[in-house]
Amino acid sequence: MSAARSSFWPGGAAGTVLRIVASRLVQAVLTALVLASLCFAFVQALPGDAALRIAAARSGDDRVTAESVARVREQEGLDRPLLAQYASWIGRLAQGDLGHSLVSRQPVWRELAEHGRFTLGLGALGWLLSYAIALPLGIACGFRPGGWLDRGTNALAVALASMPSFLVGIGLISLFALTLRWLPPAGFRTGAHMVLPALTLALGLAAFSVRIIRNAVVEVRGAFYMTFARIRGRSAGAAFLHHGVRNAAIPVATFAALQFAYVVDGFVVVETLFNYPGLGDLLVKSLLARDVPMVMGAGMVVGLMYAAVNLLADLVCIGLDPRRLAGRDA
């Protein structure tokens, strides 16, 4: 009861928003810390002399001398105790120094920016496309639950959800690129190159979101406040517009953020499949080449993006569902 009373005052609202932002911030920092520790542990676990490896990476295998190895050892503090090395590793990261790629010798952040551009474009297009498919379909199914469209969509969604994204992609390539020859199978130069990767992502996303949207619509349409709005004189359409849409949007928005987890699986695989030079492609290539700074950078960007998307979804849900400001469960 006391919660109900205090929620009349707006003072609690700012506090709730602040608490959400803080918790997502903690999530981001912790993710970064775990990634950094993982990478540090990996570097330590590599067989052989770390100083020798770095020297070789810097000057080329054939030009390594005992002197240069000793210099690297001193410069990088590799002769210090492990804990001190770990502290300085984390310290450098905290200052935003991600280091250089061992392969391309470019600063990590520059590579990330370059590849991130491609991924953002692909991700945004895939996400938009998925809702362009799932929203009308899900709403249509929700208005006729159990009808032929609903059952057909459900079967298709279960089938799509049972395929890793590379299967969906291979299916699309076989159909549109190899059989119909409408679209190029791989590459990144023109807009046409974007269509198949984006569609692959979108279908994988829509397979899940279409059910969420459909269920939200079914539930809202069955809710008594919709009937009651009609008892009070609204038409069915007006009741849905005024009371249905907002209530149905809440679970859908929450789910949209969770789906980002799928997007990560999706774009790592889809970019590799379509040879598309985004973050996922970079991450996989760096992993295969043991390019630790690059892997750490890419992993962090993905982790931070996940935290940011979750934060955005939290805030959208607050906007849609003011009950949450009161700190109550919806």
Left if phi > 0, otherwise alpha if psi is -120 to 50, otherwise beta: which for 77?
A: left
**DSSP at 325:** G
What does the alpha-carbon distance between residue 314 and residue 10 come to, in Å, rounded to a whole number?
A: 18
Q: Closest by alpha carbon to 160, among 102, 93, 207?
A: 207
Instruction: Please say whether the beta carbons of 150 and 144 come within 8 A.
Output: yes
**In this complex, which beta carbon is closest to another protein, that of residue 69 or of residue 173?**
173
Q: Establish if 272 lies at the interface with another protein (CB under 8 A).
A: yes
Residues numbered 5-64 forming contacts with another protein, rule: CB under 8 A? 7-8, 27, 30-31, 34-35, 38, 42
**In this complex, which beta carbon is closest to another protein, that of residue 64 or of residue 150?**
150
Radius of gyration of the chain (CA): 25
**In this complex, which beta carbon is closest to another protein, that of residue 100 or of residue 243?**
243
Q: Establish if 133 lies at the interface with another protein (CB under 8 A).
A: no
Contacts for 71 with CB less than 8 Å, ≥ 6 apart: 55
Q: Establish if 104 lies at the interface with another protein (CB under 8 A).
A: no
**DSSP for 146-172?**
TSHHHHHHHHHHHHHHTS-HHHHHHHH
| Site stretch for another protein (CB under 8 A), options 69-77, 109-117, 127-135, 268-276 | 268-276
What does the alpha-carbon distance between residue 32 and residue 98 come to, in Å, rounded to a whole number?
A: 12
Residues numbered 191-230 forming contacts with another protein, rule: CB under 8 A? 223-225, 227-230
Among 119, 130, 215, 247, indicate the residue that binds another protein (CB under 8 A). Answer: 247
Furthest-apart CA pair in the chain: how many Å?
89
Q: Establish if 323 lies at the interface with another protein (CB under 8 A).
A: yes
Report in angstroms how near the CB of residue 255 gets to another protein at its nearest. 14
Task: Please tell me the count of residues contacting another protein according to CB under 8 A.
Answer: 69
**In this complex, which beta carbon is closest to another protein, that of residue 63 or of residue 328?**
328
Q: Establish if 256 lies at the interface with another protein (CB under 8 A).
A: no
- Cα–Cα distance list, 103 to 199, 275, 302 (Å): 32, 19, 21
Q: Residue 256's Cα: distance from chain center in Å?
A: 10
Helices 245-274/165-172 angle, 10° precision: 70
Strands (E), 53-117: none
Residues numbered 157-196 forming contacts with another protein, rule: CB under 8 A? 158-159, 161-167, 170-171, 173-174, 178
Report in angstroms how near the CB of residue 317 gets to another protein at its nearest. 11
Name the residues that contact another protein, by CB under 8 A: 1, 4, 7-8, 27, 30-31, 34-35, 38, 42, 158-159, 161-167, 170-171, 173-174, 178, 223-225, 227-234, 242-243, 246-247, 250, 260-265, 268-269, 272-273, 283-284, 287-288, 290, 295, 299, 302-303, 306-307, 320-323, 326, 328, 330
